[in-house]
Amino acid sequence: MDLEKTLLRKVGEAVHRFKMIRAGDRIAVAVSGGKDSITLLEALILLQKRAPIDFSVCAFTVEQGKFLRPVGPVGEYIHSLGVDWTYHTDNPSIRLLTEKPDHGCDLCSRFRRRAVYQIAHGMGANVIAFGHTADDFCESLLRNILYTGRLSSLPPVTYSRERDFRLIRPLVYVTEEITRGFVESKGVPVVPCGCSLRTGTVRRGIRETIADWEIEHPHLRENILSAMGNIQHGRLLDTRYLDTEESESETEISGSELLPILTES
Ligand code: SF4
């Protein structure tokens, strides 16, 4: 498989389908130090060279005290691509580590979000790109269904609360097999975050379950992604999307669908 071609095709599809990029955009890529976000940066640079519209790309990294190695080599690599890179130490996050060492993800991501907006603003960006992959979208959907009772995942495109930034996730169709293969083939430096080594987390459990299921059903993630783009409102339980007045006359209910209800009582 030509990884660069596959990456570009999948990112192009996402950018086109969700109208992620417009002429004149300045896109700040949130580089976390891991394989996904640096792959995203490279994909956007490739896309920039081929796109019929002009847009610019820059990158930044937020230091929250969790990197397991110095991030200097990542910055040098980004500079070698001809891209502006801002490295920002977020002091409130560093204090959080000493004051509340067992803090949860909610607090950590709230601190990061604040820093991300400040940095993107300073870089003159109007768009912020995050490296969430197809795997993240699938895990997020299952996590929300199983643990929060919501049918929801990550938005491929959305806006910051004040609507001053468009937030995009162009790797929605790119799996981590692709990002892993891409960074390995190019020798891109990556810096792991301490949290990535955590075991026993819900996220890791779901990830391992999907990997187990995929041994027998290799297209599972593709099907989950496809399901997110093919919602049948009338076959779910949210009354906001049901025509409850007309449902009996308009919906055909087959005998096999009634059976579990009839046999329960
Ligand atoms: S996994 Fe770690 S770095 Fe990521 S949000 Fe949670 S606490 Fe923060």
| Cα(197) to centroid(ligand 1), Å | 11
pLDDT of residue 140: 97
Distance CA 77, CA 45 (A): 13
The answer on pLDDT for 105 being more than 70 is yes
Strand partners, 26: 56
Q: Quick check: is 243 in a domain?
A: no
Among the listed residues 133, 221, 178, 219, the one whose alpha carbon sits nearest the alpha carbon of residue 2: 178
The CATH number assigned to the domain holding 123 equals 3.40.50.620
pLDDT of residue 63: 96
Mean pLDDT (the chain) is 92
Distance CA 149, CA 177 (A): 29
Which residues, including other chains, have CB under 8 Å from residue 163's CB and lie 6 or more apart? Answer: none
pLDDT of residue 205: 93
The answer on pLDDT for 250 being more than 70 is no
The answer on pLDDT for 254 being more than 80 is no
pLDDT of residue 247: 53
Number of domains composing the chain: 1
Compute how many other C-beta atoms are within 10 angstroms of the C-beta atom of residue 96: 18
| Cα(237) to centroid(ligand 1), Å | 33
The answer on pLDDT for 119 being more than 50 is yes
Q: What is the pTM of this model?
A: 0.91
Q: Quick check: is 42 in a domain?
A: yes
Distance CA 21, CA 30 (A): 16
Q: Residues with Cβ within 6 A of ligand 1?
A: 66, 105, 108-109, 193, 195
Q: Quick check: is 21 in a domain?
A: yes
pLDDT of residue 248: 52
| Cα(50) to centroid(ligand 1), Å | 35
Q: Quick check: is 258 in a domain?
A: no
Kindly report the protein residue whose alpha carbon is nearest to atom 1 of ligand 1: 195
pLDDT of residue 245: 83
The total number of residues shown for the chain amounts to 265
Amino acid at site 190: V
- In which domain, by residue range, is 179 found? 3-197
Q: How confident is the model at residue 194 (pLDDT cuts 50, 70, 90)?
A: confident
pLDDT of residue 197: 76
Q: Quick check: is 56 in a domain?
A: yes
Kindly report the protein residue whose alpha carbon is nearest to atom 4 of ligand 1: 105
Q: How confident is the model at residue 261 (pLDDT cuts 50, 70, 90)?
A: very low
Q: Quick check: is 228 in a domain?
A: no
Instruction: Calculate what percentage of the chain has a pLDDT beyond 90.
Output: 82
| Cα(108) to centroid(ligand 1), Å | 6
pLDDT digits (tens, 9 = 90+) for 23-56: 999 999 999 999 999 999 999 999 999 999 999 9
